């Protein structure tokens, strides 16, 4: 019996040979570890560069007939990124689906380990072992941050999120950690009033740029950042530990 992160018994007769991934982080992780397994991925799966597999549309609107046509032994999904309806429809048509849950760094590391050992039946990859060591202890407190993820309407990273926990381990206090919701709406005036030491502006899901975002926070330190480093929990975890620490050490004022 192999239980996914939500306790669903995923029936696998043997080690999967054909896997479709509906999550960019999982796609990158599998491609870096057992690329021969991967036969399909979403249009949002941009890493590794040049990934040559069938595309099955997006995370929220996957092309279910196209997925079935690939005859996968397993589809991998995520509780937050994919719809329960799509997971259920795949399962009802006989396609095994493994769902991960990743609301903290520790949970993400454990979810990855279960995916590789229990579902994919491969050894824990070196990058995952390295990431577990890197993120095993929290850094001294650095300061406070706000992380907008959308504008018009403005939304920010709130409580109980992987991104919030990652920043906590880097010594950052999320000024919206006690907000009502995981990704609450927050007007610009609210963000400014919270007086974060730094406003981080990722390039996904909203693509903030030098000309679109920083101008909303005059007088506050801002920094453009790769959304992959903040939200992807595959091999990006190793890069994130170094790159985000370096970024936090050199904030700039718009």
Q: Which tens digits make up the pLDDT trace of 108-135?
A: 999 999 999 999 999 999 999 999 999 9
Closest CA to 196 of 186, 204, 206: 186
CB-based contact 224:209 (threshold 8 Å)? yes
Residues listed for the chain = 254
In order of 222, 223, 224, 243, 246, the CA distances from 250 in angstroms are 10, 9, 12, 11, 7
Placement of tokens 């095994």 in the chain: 96
Cβ–Cβ contacts within 10 Å for residue 188, how many? 12
Element (H, E) at 100: strand 97-100
CB-based contact 23:81 (threshold 8 Å)? yes
Phi/psi at 139 (5° precision): -75, 160
Task: Give the per-residue pLDDT at 171.
Answer: 94
Placement of tokens 């397993």 in the chain: 74
Q: Fill in the DSSP letter of residue 218.
A: T
**Strands 198-202 and 143-146: what pairing?**
parallel
Phi/psi at 60 (5° precision): -95, -15
Closest CA to 18 of 35, 32, 4: 35
Q: Enumerate residues 6+ apart whose C-beta is below 8 A from 133.
A: none
Ordered domains of the chain (ranges, CATH): 19-133 (3.40.50.1980), 143-253 (3.40.50.1980)
Q: Please give the chain's pLDDT, 254 residues, in tens.
A: 689 999 999 999 899 999 999 999 999 999 999 999 999 999 999 999 999 999 999 999 999 999 999 999 999 999 999 999 999 999 999 999 999 999 999 999 999 999 999 999 999 999 999 999 999 999 999 999 999 999 999 999 999 999 999 999 999 999 999 999 999 999 999 999 999 999 999 999 999 999 999 999 999 999 999 999 999 999 999 999 999 988 887 444 44
**What is the spatial distance between Cα 146 and Cα 163, in angstroms, rounded to a whole number?**
11
The b/e string for 112-146 (b: 16+ C-beta within 10 A; e otherwise) is bebbbeebbeeeebebbeebbeebeeeeeebebbb
């Amino acid at each position: 019996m192999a239980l996914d992160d939500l306790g669903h018994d995923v029936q696998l007769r043997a080690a999967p040979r054909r896997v479709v991934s509906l999550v960019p982080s999982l796609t990158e992780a599998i491609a870096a570890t057992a690329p021969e397994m991967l036969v399909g991925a979403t249009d949002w799966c941009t890493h590794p560069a040049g990934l040559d597999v069938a595309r099955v549309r997006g995370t929220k609107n996957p092309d279910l007939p196209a997925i079935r046509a690939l005859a996968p032994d397993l589809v991998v999904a995520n509780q937050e990124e994919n719809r329960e309806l799509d997971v259920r429809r795949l399962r009802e048509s006989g396609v095994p689906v493994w769902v991960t849950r990743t609301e903290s760094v520790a949970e993400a590391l454990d979810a990855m380990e279960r995916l590789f050992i229990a579902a994919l039946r491969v050894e824990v990859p070196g990058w995952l072992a390295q990431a577990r060591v890197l993120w095993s202890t929290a850094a001294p407190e650095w300061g406070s941050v706000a992380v907008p993820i959308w504008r018009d309407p403005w939304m920010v990273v709130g409580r109980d999120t992987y991104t919030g926990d990652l920043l906590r381990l880097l010594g950052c206090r999320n000024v919206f950690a006690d907000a009502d919701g995981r990704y609450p709406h927050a007007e610009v005036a609210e963000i400014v009033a919270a007086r974060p030491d730094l406003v981080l502006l990722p390039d996904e899901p909203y693509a903030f740029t030098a000309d679109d975002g920083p101008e909303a926070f005059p007088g506050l330190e801002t920094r453009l950042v790769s959304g992959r480093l903040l939200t992807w929990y595959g091999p990006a975890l190793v890069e994130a530990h170094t790159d985000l620490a370096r970024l936090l050490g050199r904030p700039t004022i718009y």
